[in-house]
Amino acid sequence: MICETFPTEDALAATLGRLVVDAVRRQPSIVLGLPTGRTPIALYGELIGLTREESIDWSGVRTFNLDEFVGLSRADHGSYRAFMDTHLFDHVNVDPRHIGFPDGRAPDLAAECDRYEREIARARGIDLLVLGIGANGHIGFNEPADALAARTHVARLDEETRAGNTLWFDGDLRRVPHEALTMGMATILAARAIVLMATGEAKADAVRAMLDGGVTTRLPASFLQLHPQVRVMLDEPLAAAIRPL
């Protein structure tokens, strides 16, 4: 894994925004895998800004998001789909038919997971997948466990992960769903290139274990060590917290 450190979150977002925009320009029909969370908000801001300044055309771009809460749709403001509309999709000319999302309201969730995998396969897979990481080492909603699921599946969320998501539910933990649909580890590892962004001291232990520990289902992000094309982007406060004294 190539690991880079940036002085601030904004500097990280500027570099990653440039990387994504250049990839879109090079490959107008690129398939992007996209994350939600606090961390990528600055990235999406950069993408919107660069798109305006440089007239970037998103009409051929295909996107697939990593995950969505069970029971929520874009009409719920806590849904990841609503997040993506607010922070990116409403501001660029991506074709709504090209936006891939697992449907947390689907009546048959297992069938919905299969449909999502088929949709990704039909798009010939993900060219560039951007990831965040949870403080417990989760990616997407692949939580630490004895075994990890390979493909898109229904995941039960750890309490720590639910607590980390209260921001999208006006700080009310009771409203955070207990389950989500998420791409599985094989879905993630099948992406042709991966960039993981992480900021802030609270993620230092997870990032250290991801970079230097063994590959373990107890830290799902460690599986990224198996992928040949992963870039890890950190901000200085996080990097400083993992540096040996």
Q: Which residues are catalytic?
A: 67, 136, 138, 143
User: 3-state DSSP call for residue 188?
Assistant: helix
Of residues 123-142, which lie at the interface with ligand GLP (CB under 6 A)?
132-134, 140-141
Question: Tokens 């894994």 correspond to what residue?
Answer: 1
Nearer to ligand GLP, 30 or 84 (CB): 84
Which residue type does 91 have?
H
Nearer to ligand GLP, 60 or 218 (CB): 218
Nearest alpha-carbon partner for 98 in 63, 71, 123, 74: 63
Of 93-101, 122-130, 161-169, 222-230, the window that binds ligand GLP (rule: CB under 6 A) is 161-169
Cα separations in angstroms, 239 against 85, 221, 234, 242: 31, 17, 6, 5
Q: Which of 46, 67, 68, 76 binds ligand GLP (CB under 6 A)?
A: 67
Binding mask 20-49 toward ligand GLP (x if CB under 6 A, else -) reads ---------------xxxxx----------
- Is 222 a binding residue for ligand GLP by CB under 6 A? The answer is no
Q: What gap in Å lies between CA 229 and CA 36, rounded to an integer? A: 21
Q: How far is the CB of 34 from ligand GLP (least distance, A)?
A: 10
Show Cβ contacts of residue 212 under 8 Å, excluding neighbours closer than 6 positions: none
Nearest alpha-carbon partner for 126 in 46, 184, 48: 184
Interaction site with ligand GLP (CB under 6 A): 35-39, 66-67, 132-134, 140-141, 161, 164-165
